[in-house]
Amino acid sequence: MWREPVLAYVGLGANLGPATQVVTQALQSLDGLPGTRVLRRSSLYRSAPFEASGPDFINAVAALQTRLSAPDLLAALQGLEDAAGRTRPFPNAPRTLDLDLLLYGDACIDSPCLTVPHPRLIERAFVLLPLAEIAPQLVSAAQIGRVQGQDIVKIGA
């Protein structure tokens, strides 16, 4: 089915195994999703677990142009997580790869399987800082100010 392209933003994170390598590979894999291409990607960031446990996370955000519907994009992201060995033994468990659909155009979706904008997007420095890097118009100074106490550092391009 023909669909007009939509600008979507995806948050990436990992804190098990070779996390930097996994996040970098996932950024490349996003470009291979059907009808999808990566327009921009943030630097990599290291952040302490937030409402989670385990080692520090490696995080990034990517801007995608996609022809996939939001549910189809979510399913594709979950497929990439599964391919990276993601398991969900309990909420906020350490993970080999976590891909969150943050924004899907200007859509507001609230279904049992998907909520967009991501409901905790503005609470997390590991999302807001990389998002502000690639789409500063989407993040306010006040939002950044509310997460400034969270432990996060840019580690590379």
Please indicate whether residue 100 is annotated as part of the active site. yes
Of the residues 100, 106, 110, 124, only one is catalytic, namely 100
Of the residues 41, 46, 86, 124, only one is catalytic, namely 86
Of the residues 40, 98, 106, 110, only one is catalytic, namely 98
Please indicate whether residue 110 is annotated as part of the active site. no
Please indicate whether residue 41 is annotated as part of the active site. no
Cα 145 from Cα 13, distance rounded (Å): 22
Region class of 153: left (phi > 0), else alpha (psi between -120 and 50), else beta: beta
Nearest to 104 by CA among 9, 22, 2, 21: 9
Give the pair of three-digit tokens for residue 52: 């989670």
Please indicate whether residue 98 is annotated as part of the active site. yes
Of the residues 3, 46, 72, 95, only one is catalytic, namely 95
Catalytic residues: 86, 95, 98, 100
